[in-house]
Chain A
Amino acid sequence: MTDLMTSFRRFDSSRHGTWVVAGVMVVLLFILPVLDDPLLLLQVRYYISMIILALSMAFIWGFGGIMCFGQSMFFGLGGYAYAIAVGNFGESTAPFFLAMIVPALFAAFLGYFMFFGRLNDVYVAVITLAVTLALYYFINSTSGDEYTIGKARLMGFNGISSIRKFNWPGDSTALLSANHLFYFAMGLLIATYVGLKLLLGSTFGRVVVAVKENELRAELLGYDVRLYKLAVFVIGAAIAGLAGCLSINYKNFISPNAFHLSLAAQIIMWVLVGGVGTLLGPIIGCVVLLYVSFILGTGASGGGLNTYLIFGLIVMIFVLVIPQGIVPTLRDWREQGGRYRRMTAGAVLSMAEQLPASSRAPVRAFGERMLGLAPPSGHSGNKG
C-alpha cells in the first residue's frame, strides 16, 4: 500500500509526471478556445484562478510544512491590491505585479514575526487565522467614504465592483478579449506549475523539503530554517495574490468574503482531498470540490435538502473513508483492494439480489469480480 502512495507521489514528483501534467495543460490551452464556447472559457478561467490558489497552499503546506489557515488573506490582499491600483492607474500592468508584491510583502512581515519567533504548527495556524479575520473585519468596516485610497473607494462589506480587466501592457484602451484572457490565465497556470516544479527540484527546494521533514536536522546541517520557511511563505503568498488578481478578472468584483473563513477552510480542503505533499492532487481536489458545490447549487430547490447538509456529509465521509486523498486512494483501491472494496462488493452483491432476473447476472458477476480481487486477509484498506 505504501508502495501505491509512493507511486502517486513518485509520479507527481517525477520529471515525466510533470511533463504529462504540463502537457495536458498545454493541450487544453490550444483546444479549449477552438471549441467556440464562451461559457466554457469563462468558467475554465474561474477554475484556473482557484487551481493557482490551491497550488500556493499545496506548496507551502505540502512541501514547506507550514499550516497556514489564512491562505485566503493573500488571495484577498492580491485582489484588493489589483482593484485599488487599477482603479487609480487606469492601466493594468503595474497593478498585475502589485497583486503579487503586496501579499508577498505582507507575508514577509507576518512570516518574520512568526518564524523568527519560532512559532510552530497550531500556533501558526491560529495566528494566520486571527490575522485573516482581523483583515476581514477591517475591510468590512470600510464602507464609509473616508476609506478611499486615491480614486478607489474600499466600499466595505459591499465590495468593489466593475473592476477593469487586463489590458495590453502600456495601452489602457486595448482590453484583452475573452480568448486572450483565457490564454493569459492558462499560461500563468502552466508557468506557476512548472515554476514550482523547477523550484522544488532545485537545491533550494530540496532544503525546503528537508526542513519540513526534520527541522532540527536541517538546522544542525547549517541551514537557517527560519529563512527557508519565510521564503516559502512569501512565495506562496505571491502565488495566492496572483490567483486573487486572476479571479477578479473573472468576476470583475472583490468583497471582504475573499478573506472569509469559509474560503480559508476550502483551500485546505482542496489540498487535503487531493493529497498533501503533491501538486497534482490539490489541482484535482480543487476542481472536484468546486464542481460538486456548483452542481449541488443547480439542483437545489425550495424545500429540498439543504446544500450544506449534503456537502457536510461528503466531507465527513471523505475524511473517514479516504483519508489520504482521492488520487492515492483510487490507486490503492485498484491495486490493493481492502475492506472498502469488500464492503462495496458486498453492497453490489446484495443489490444484485434485488434486481430482476434478467439483469442480475452481470451485476452479480461484477460484484464477484470485485471480491475475487480482494487480497488475502490481514491487510487493511485504511491507513492512519
Chain B
Amino acid sequence: MRSITRRKFLATSAASAAAITAAGFMGNVRIAHADDEIVIASLFDQSGGLDVYGTPMTMCTTLAVEEINAAGGLLGKKIRLISYDPQSNMELYAQYAQEAALKEKVAVVQGAITSASREVIRPILGENKTMLWYSVIYEGGVCDMNNVVSGATPLQMGDPVVEYGMKNYGKKVYYIGADYNAPQIIGDWGKKYVTEHGGEWLAKNLFPLDVTEFGPEISKIQAAKPDFLYTCLVGGAHISFYRQWAAAGMLKKIPMVSFTFGVGNEHKSLKPEECDGIVSAQPYFQELETPANIAFVKRFQDRFGGPDKAPYLNSVGSGSYIGTWFWAEAVKKAGTIEREAVLKALASGMSWEGPSGKLTVDPASMHCIQDVHLAKVEGGSWKVFQTINQLRPDDVKDRCDLTKNPATAEQFTPQL
C-alpha cells in the first residue's frame, strides 16, 4: 500500500480549491459585445413542470428575434438572444436575472411565467436598471415602471366570460380553481361581478396544483346544482378534472366557462367529447381569423417543423412574440435601447398591432389595453364568436398611477 504524503495532499487540495475559485471567477469575465449587436435575454422554463408553457414561449421569442433581424435588425444592429432555462427553479431565476443584468448587460429581459418567478426577478432587474417585459396572463396588480406587462388581467378576461355565462346559462355560479394567488383573486373578482349582477355565488373551491383526483368535488358540484361552472384550473394535473367531469356525464348537464382553459392547451389534450362547449375568453387564439394572425401562425409552423410538429399556440406562447416585437418597435420609436427612453416611448401611450389585435400601453399601469376574444370549443378547437375591443387593465386603478408616482414598484391586491 502506497501512502500519500502530506505535501502532495495539500498540493492537490489547494489545486481543487483554486479550481473552485476559478469557476467562480468565470463570472468576472465580462463578455465584450460586438458593436453591431443588441443582446436581449429570455427567461422561460424549458424543463421541469412548467416547460409546457416555457418551450413555446422561447420559440416565439426566437421567431420574433429572427424576424426582426431578417428585416434589417434594430437600429441597424442585429439582436442576439440568450435563452436561459431556469428549470422551474426559483434560485436559477434569480441567478440568470443577475447574470443577464450584470454580466450580459441585456437591453431587455423577456421573462417569467408564473407570478412567483416574476416576483423573484422583478426586484433584481429593477435594482440593476434592466427592463422586464412580462407577457403572460396573470392575476393583475403589478405596478412598476420597469415592468411592462402585455399579458391580460382578470378584469380583462374574467368579466366578459362571467357576463357571457350569466346571460346564457343562469344566475347560480360555482367556482373552482387552482390553489394560489391568481385563482384566489380571479375568484374574488368573479364573486363581485356575480353578486353585483343579481346572481348567486355558490362556492369557491381551490385545489393544489398536483391534485389529480376530483371525484369528491364532482359529487359536491352535483349536490350544489349550479347553472354553470366557472373554472380557473391550471396545469397538467388539473386537466384530469375535465376528463373526470366528462366521464361522470356532466359536460352536457352543467355548462362551463373559464379563461384558463386553453392556456395549457387543455382542448388539445382532451378528446372533443370531453370538452366541446366550454367557453373561454383570451387575448389570443391560434384560430383567430385575422390576416395578421394567419400569417403569423404559418411563419411559426414553418419555422418549427410544420403544422404537425410545432406546438399549438395559445395566449401564453404567443405573448412572448408580441412582447418581443412590441419592445423592438418601442426601441425604433425611441431611437435607442436606453431603458429610460424606451420606457418613455411606451408610456406615451404607444400602440402596436400584432397577431392578437391592437395593444396600447396604459401609462398609469404599464399594462396593455387590448382586445379579448370569446371562443367556444367545437370539435376540439376554438371557435371564436365574439371580440370585445380595447378592454382596459384597470384592476388596481385606485392605487396604481405611475404617471404620478413613477417610483412605485410593488404588486397590489385588488380591494373588492
Which label, helix, strand, loop or mixed, suits the secondary structure of the B interface?
Answer: helix
**A202 — which chain B residues lie within 8 A by C-beta?**
none
Quick check: is A143 within 8 A (CB to CB) of the other chain?
Answer: yes
Query: Are A252 and B98 in contact, CB atoms less than 8 angstroms apart?
Result: no
Inter-chain contacts of A262 with B (CB < 8 A): 89
A155 within 8 A of B: yes
Provide the bound-state CA to CA distance between A140 and B181, in Å: 10
Output the least CB separation between A61 and chain B (Å): 22
| B4 near A157: Cβ-Cβ < 8 Å | no
A16 CB, nearest partner CB in chain B, Å: 8
Interface-forming stretch among A113-121, A211-219, A286-294?
A286-294
Contacts of A291 in B (CB 8 A): 23
A195 lies within 8 A of chain B by Cβ? no
Across-interface contacts of A28 in B (CB, < 8 A): 21
Q: Is the CB of B179 within 8 A of A143?
A: yes
| B410 and A46 form a contact (CB under 8 A) | no
- A159-B116, A162-B119, A301-B58 given as contacts; is B90 within 8 A of A335 (CB)? no
Within 8 A of B (CB), among A136-158: 137, 140-141, 143-145, 155-158
Asked if A320 is at the interface (CB within 8 A of a chain B CB), the reply is no
Known: A158-B180, A294-B95. A331 touches B4 (CB 8 A): yes
A55 CB to nearest chain B CB (Å) = 15
For A8-41 the 0/1 string (1 means CB < 8 A from B) is 0001000011001100100010001001011110
User: Which chain A residues lie closer than 8 Å to B3 at the CB level?
Assistant: 3, 7
Interface Cβ pair total, 8 Å cutoff: 173
Q: Which residues of B contact A331 (CB under 8 A)?
A: 4, 12
The reply to whether B181 and A40 contact each other, CB–CB distance below 8 Å, is: no
Central interface residue in A32, A284, A294, A297, by most chain B CB within 10 Å: A297
A247 at the interface (CB under 8 A from B): yes
| A153–chain B nearest beta-carbon distance, Å | 9
From B20, B84, B92, B180, give the contact of A156 (CB < 8 A): B180
Evaluate contact between A141 and B90: CB separation under 8 angstroms.
no
- Chain A binding site: helix, strand, loop or mixed by DSSP? helix
Residue contact A253 to B120, C-beta cutoff 8 Å: yes
Known: A293-B87, A297-B86, A302-B62. A158 touches B116 (CB 8 A): yes
**Across the interface, do B103 and A156 meet the contact criterion of CB distance under 8 Å?**
no
> A144 contacts which chain B residues (CB < 8 A)?
184
Q: With A143-B181, A335-B2 in contact, is A162–B410 under 8 Å at CB?
A: yes
**Those 10 A-B pairs whose CB atoms lie nearest each other, nearest first:** A157-B180, A161-B119, A39-B102, A300-B85, A251-B94, A158-B181, A297-B85, A307-B47, A40-B27, A302-B58
**7 A-B contacts (beta carbon < 8 Å):** A20-B17, A39-B102, A141-B206, A252-B124, A300-B47, A301-B46, A301-B62
Q: Which residues of A contact B (CB under 8 A)?
A: 3-4, 7, 11, 16-17, 20-21, 24, 28, 32, 35, 37-40, 42-44, 46-47, 137, 140-141, 143-145, 155-159, 161-162, 247, 250-253, 255, 257, 262, 284, 287, 291, 293-294, 296-298, 300-303, 306-308, 327, 330-331, 334-336
Residues of B within 8 A of A (CB): 1-4, 6, 9-10, 12-14, 16-17, 20-21, 23-25, 27-28, 46-48, 55, 58-59, 62, 82-87, 89-92, 94-96, 98-99, 102-103, 114-116, 119-120, 122-124, 179-181, 184, 206, 208-209, 304, 410-411, 413
Further pairs besides A42-B102, A140-B209: 15, Cβ < 8 Å: A3-B3, A11-B9, A35-B28, A40-B28, A43-B95, A143-B181, A156-B180, A161-B120, A253-B94, A253-B120, A284-B20, A297-B86, A300-B46, A300-B83, A336-B2
